[in-house]
Amino acid sequence: MKAAGILALIGCLVTSTESKVYTRCKLAKIFARAGLDNYGGFSLGNWICMAYYESGYNTTAQAVLDDGSVDYGIFQINSFTWCRYERLQEKNHCHVACSGTVLICQKHYPQEQRHES
């Protein structure tokens, strides 16, 4: 059931041809349904705040960094470590294309960051 919810969420948030900028309330509802409230010890408010400051709730936000890697999506998942981007040799910890990263990868990110610290 949880996997189906995550897949539905990805269907809502990832559209390769169309940008979507969510409102705070709509994104909070989507995140709550996906089980992000208190996931990894972070409140729903923390997730919403992070999404706002990373991308302004824009599903197709991208930022090219000085090292050539690219940050993608609502949470600005980095291509060098977390996903596969065509021009770089990445670690791809989430085992997905960068265009498909939203919550699947984000749910791995807090635990991985803690282990690297």
pLDDT at 44: 94
Q: What is the pLDDT of residues 85-113, one digit of tens each?
A: 665 555 766 666 776 545 455 555 544 44
Which of 37, 54, 67, 86 is flagged as catalytic? 54
Active-site residue flag, 54? yes
Q: Structure tokens of 38? A: 């208190």
Domain count within the chain: 1
| Model pLDDT for residues 3-61, shown as the tens digit of each residue | 444 444 544 454 344 678 999 999 999 889 988 899 888 899 999 999 999 999 998 88
Range of the domain at 7: 2-116
The CATH number of the domain where 57 resides is what? Answer: 1.10.530.10
Output the CA torsion 94→10→54→111 (10° steps): -40
CB 22, CB 60: distance < 8 Å: no
The stretch 75-87 carries a mean pLDDT of 74
Contact 34, 22 (CB under 8 A): no
Tokens of 116: 């690297």
97, two tokens: 């294309």
Burial class (CB in 10 A: 0-12, 13-18, 19+), 66: exposed
Of the candidates 71, 86, 90, 112, the residue annotated as catalytic is 71
